[in-house]
A and B are shown apart, each in its own frame.
Chain A
Amino acid sequence: MQGTAPYRLSFVLLGIALVLAWLLNISSGSVNIPFSEVVSILSGTAAQVDTWNYIIWDFRVPKAFTSILVGGGLSLSGLLMQTLFRNPLAGPFVLGISSGASLGAALLLMGTSLFVGMGSLSFLGDVSLALAASIGSFLVLAVVMVVAQRVKDTMALLIIGLMFGSITSAIVSVLAYFSSAENLQRFIFWSFGSVGNLSPQQILLLTGIVLMGILLSIISLKPLNAFLLGERYAQSLGVSLKRSRFIIIIATGLLAGGITAFAGPIAFVGLAVPHLTRQLFDTMEHKVLVPAVFLYGSILMLLCDMIAQWPNSANVLPINAITSLVGAPVVIWLLVRKRKMLF
Chain B
Amino acid sequence: MENKSKTILSTKNLSIGYGSKIVAKDIHFVLEPGVLCGIVGVNGIGKSTLLRTLGRFQPKLSGSIQLEGKNVEDHSPSGLSKKLSVVLTEPPASKNLTVGELIALGRQPYTNWLGTLSPEDQKQVQNSLDAFLLNELKHRKCHELSDGQLQRVLIARAMAQDTPVIILDEPTTHLDLYHKVQILKMLQQLAHDQQKTILFSTHEIDLAIQLCDKILILDGDTNPFGDPCELIEQKHFERLFPMEMVQFDAKTGSFKITK
Tell me the A residues contacting B by CB distance below 8 Å.
Answer: 1-3, 83, 86, 219, 221-222, 225-233, 235-240, 278, 283-285, 287, 340, 342-343
CA–CA, A236 and B58, complex, Å: 12
The answer to whether A230 and B81 touch across the interface, beta carbons within 8 angstroms, is: no
Given the complex, which residues of B lie within 8 Å of A284, measured CB to CB? 94, 96-98, 101
Residue B155 at the chain A interface, CB threshold 8 Å: no
Given the complex, which residues of A lie within 8 Å of B77, measured CB to CB? 235, 238-240
Closest residue of A by beta carbon distance from B158: A236
The DSSP consensus for interface residues of chain B is loop
Closest residue of A by beta carbon distance from B57: A232
Residue B134 at the chain A interface, CB threshold 8 Å: no
The answer to whether B80 and A225 touch across the interface, beta carbons within 8 angstroms, is: no
Known: A221-B113, A238-B79. 11 other contacts (CB 8 A): A1-B101, A222-B114, A228-B94, A229-B94, A230-B93, A232-B90, A236-B55, A236-B86, A240-B77, A283-B98, A342-B143
The DSSP consensus for interface residues of chain A is loop
Given A232-B88, A232-B90: A226 and B105 interface contact (C-beta under 8 Å): yes
Nearest CB of chain B from residue A251's CB, rounded to whole Å: 16
CA–CA, A278 and B97, complex, Å: 11
Given the complex, which residues of B lie within 8 Å of A232, measured CB to CB? 55, 57, 86, 88, 90
Nearest CB of chain A from residue B123's CB, rounded to whole Å: 15
Tell me the B residues contacting A by CB distance below 8 Å.
Answer: 55-57, 77-82, 84-86, 88, 90, 92-98, 100-102, 104-106, 108-109, 111, 113-117, 143, 161
Closest residue of B by beta carbon distance from A237: B108
Pull 21 A–B residue pairs with CB atoms less than 8 Å apart, ordered by A.
A1-B101, A2-B100, A3-B117, A86-B93, A221-B115, A225-B105, A225-B115, A228-B93, A228-B94, A229-B93, A232-B86, A233-B88, A233-B93, A236-B84, A237-B161, A238-B77, A238-B79, A238-B81, A238-B109, A287-B114, A342-B94
CA–CA, A251 and B31, complex, Å: 44
CA–CA, A7 and B244, complex, Å: 64
CA–CA, A221 and B93, complex, Å: 17
Given A238-B109, A284-B101: A1 and B81 interface contact (C-beta under 8 Å): no
Name the 3 nearest CB pairs between A and B, nearest first: A238-B81, A238-B78, A230-B93
Nearest CB of chain A from residue B91's CB, rounded to whole Å: 8
Given A1-B101, A2-B101, A342-B143: A235 and B57 interface contact (C-beta under 8 Å): yes
Nearest CB of chain B from residue A161's CB, rounded to whole Å: 18
Given A222-B111, A222-B113, A239-B77: A228 and B143 interface contact (C-beta under 8 Å): no
CA–CA, A226 and B114, complex, Å: 12
Given the complex, which residues of B lie within 8 Å of A227, measured CB to CB? 93
CA–CA, A83 and B80, complex, Å: 24
The answer to whether B114 and A230 touch across the interface, beta carbons within 8 angstroms, is: no
CA–CA, A239 and B117, complex, Å: 17
**In the complex, which of the residues A231, A236, A285 contacts B101, with contact meaning CB atoms closer than 8 Å?**
A285
CA–CA, A284 and B104, complex, Å: 12
Closest residue of B by beta carbon distance from A3: B116
Nearest CB of chain B from residue A150's CB, rounded to whole Å: 15
CA–CA, A229 and B88, complex, Å: 10
CA–CA, A259 and B96, complex, Å: 29
The answer to whether B94 and A86 touch across the interface, beta carbons within 8 angstroms, is: yes
